[in-house]
Homo-oligomer: A and B are copies of this chain.
Amino acid sequence: MYRPPVDEMAHTLKKIAGLEDAIAQGRFGDLSDDLIDAILEEAGKFASTRVAPLLQVGDRHGTPLKDAEVTMPPGWKDVYRDWIAGGWNGLTGEEEYGGQGLPMMLAIATFEMWNSGSMAFGIGPTLTLGAIEALEAHATHELKQIYLPKLISGEWMGTMNLTEPQAGSDVGALRTRAERSDDGTYRIFGTKIFITYGEHDLTENIIHMVLARLPDAPAGTKGISLFLVPKFLVNEDGTLGARNDVFCGGIEHKMGIHGSPTCTMIYGDGFANDREAGAVGWLIGEENRGLACMFTMMNNARLAVGIQGVAVAEAAYQKSLAYAQERRQMRAPGWVGEGMSPIIEHQDVQRDLLTMKGLTGAARSIAYACAHALDMAKTGTGDDARWWADRANLLTPVAKAFCTDVGVDVASIGIQIHGGMGYIEETGAAQFLRDARIAPIYEGTNGIQAIDLVQRKLQLGGGEHVKDYIAELRNVADAVGALNTTDLRQTATRLQTGLNDLEQASLWLQRAITAGQIREAYAGATPYLRLFGLAAGATYLAKGALAGQNPGRTALARFFAENLLSETSTLKDRIIHGAPSLLDARMALGS
């Protein structure tokens, strides 16, 4: 059973990702160390005692659809009710609308816990948060008054409706239609697919954020607008009114996260009122400016999906560690105990467990550092705010893609540690891989993240921002070197090497983009994102080791630097020297 690593999370928040510094700067008002610890402790209790028991029941029961209504798995509604009663949905919401105005860093740490308990449970509130942020940033005061309090409390949940069959990564290709109505609202017609929590019985109302195209809109991404489409219209007194013409037309049969309903949503086909009058929607932001609103929703959702990777990795690691401590097979070299040794004593299993723990810790650090940048941007002004927004923008694709790849890799190693038992569904190790496998895909595939990093994020601040970031990481490596301890001497050298690789690859890609060698740059995008994640993650682990006398943390940082980090040399080579043979090999794939 999942045990929230509260100490490790608090350490990562405070000593690695910048929470202590932010507090010292007065960024978070009177938020105290004690309050942070108390919040993490309470969230941990809820995640382990209430959310985690939903994991397998969600997997087995799924979310059956009948007559356009979805029934959530047994027990889920009760847990969700108590979860919102605990105020967990509103941590970061604006205080004006009932939120607690706490830092995103804290919210992300709690998200990790919900998702370690059950990724299928955790993804629901992630979508609600996206809707909240879109409304906070772009909605009229009137719409905010009506919807934000209920969304922030969690009494209603939100969704993001982007994808259509022909428009996945390419949202500009969407065809859902929006028509202006005389009363200032809009009528929406069309079909959206892969809509997470599009329909369910956890809440009385569901607030859909829908991308659609006006009749006179320009083609492509410059012609999409964002609309709020509630499942039930809301009366002036706040009670629920008529059923809106948006219905769930189907549920996907997925590899994992069976407890999360993935819906086909049909807008305006007359199911509600026997005439095709359209689903009633309200414009969010300006007409044809929906892309900006979408990115408001998606950016934080990308970080939240990244944390899902960390969360599943943590849960898979814990299960594997417990199994490796119990399961006995053979006598490991060096084992002096009676009979067969626990398999954790086998060096090969140690490598697996340390790789799992190291990657998980590195990914957590990156995700929390990204949340920190969001908080700094939000609490700053002017240049300071813009600089931190750049930092968040730089780290978001890394947090999304590196962390979700780690989730898949760590879950797969976890199956391996369990041997034959890992392949049996009742064990639970396989579910982690099945659940984790969606995270590199949704909210923008990891390939898209890598291209975003190379094409846009490396150019932030005229190309200087990433250099500043690498310089910051170098300061950590220098501090490790200055310690000059036997334990970490190699680590310091290896961090410098890894950061050299990151710097050289960054410069090469910046130059390629500037020179218009886009194909060459994109060919190296995925290796670059991983290089970035490994170098940053190794440095963060070392930073954490610097912060205190914890032999376990020091040993893990060292293992990462001396065993995992050297992959950067391979990755750098692929980026700088790999493109010609890749581009020339197009023919090997046929026409």
- Partner-B contacts on A (CB < 8 A): 163, 166, 168-170, 173, 193-194, 252-256, 321, 325, 328-330, 333-334, 340, 344, 346-354, 357, 408, 412, 415-416, 419-420, 422-426, 430, 433-434, 437-438, 440-442, 445-447, 450-451, 490, 518-519, 522-523, 525-526, 551-553, 555-556, 558-559, 561-563, 566-567, 569-570, 573-574, 577-591
* Pairwise interchain contact A589-B357, C-beta atoms closer than 8 A: yes
* Pairwise interchain contact B563-A588, C-beta atoms closer than 8 A: no
* Pairwise interchain contact A584-B570, C-beta atoms closer than 8 A: no
| Dominant secondary structure at the A interface | helix
* Pairwise interchain contact B451-A348, C-beta atoms closer than 8 A: yes
Provide the residues of chain B in CB contact with A334, threshold 8 Å: 518-519
* Pairwise interchain contact B347-A519, C-beta atoms closer than 8 A: yes
Give Cα A451–Cα B343 distance, bound, in whole angstroms: 14
Provide the residues of chain B in CB contact with A581, threshold 8 Å: 490, 555, 558-559, 561-563
* Pairwise interchain contact A447-B346, C-beta atoms closer than 8 A: yes
* Pairwise interchain contact A445-B416, C-beta atoms closer than 8 A: yes
Give Cα A166–Cα B327 distance, bound, in whole angstroms: 9
Give Cα A147–Cα B588 distance, bound, in whole angstroms: 47
* Pairwise interchain contact A350-B573, C-beta atoms closer than 8 A: no
* Pairwise interchain contact A570-B566, C-beta atoms closer than 8 A: yes
Whether A440 contacts B416 in the complex (CB less than 8 A), given A351-B582, A553-B588, comes out as: yes
Give Cα A101–Cα B408 distance, bound, in whole angstroms: 44
Give Cα A450–Cα B433 distance, bound, in whole angstroms: 23
Closest Cβ of chain B to A546, distance in Å, is 16
* Pairwise interchain contact B419-A583, C-beta atoms closer than 8 A: no
Whether A566 contacts B573 in the complex (CB less than 8 A), given A255-B434, A351-B582, A589-B344, comes out as: yes
* Pairwise interchain contact B585-A350, C-beta atoms closer than 8 A: yes
Whether A441 contacts B419 in the complex (CB less than 8 A), given A523-B351, A562-B577, A581-B559, comes out as: yes
* Pairwise interchain contact A558-B584, C-beta atoms closer than 8 A: yes
* Pairwise interchain contact B583-A518, C-beta atoms closer than 8 A: no
Of all chain B residues, which has the CB nearest A490? B581
* Pairwise interchain contact A525-B348, C-beta atoms closer than 8 A: yes
Provide the residues of chain B in CB contact with A442, threshold 8 Å: 420
* Pairwise interchain contact B563-A333, C-beta atoms closer than 8 A: no
Of all chain B residues, which has the CB nearest A451? B348
Q: Could you write out 21 A-B pairs with CB less than 8 Å apart?
A: A166-B328, A168-B420, A169-B330, A169-B419, A173-B329, A173-B340, A253-B426, A255-B415, A334-B518, A347-B522, A348-B522, A350-B523, A350-B589, A351-B523, A351-B582, A352-B447, A420-B441, A558-B584, A566-B569, A566-B573, A567-B567
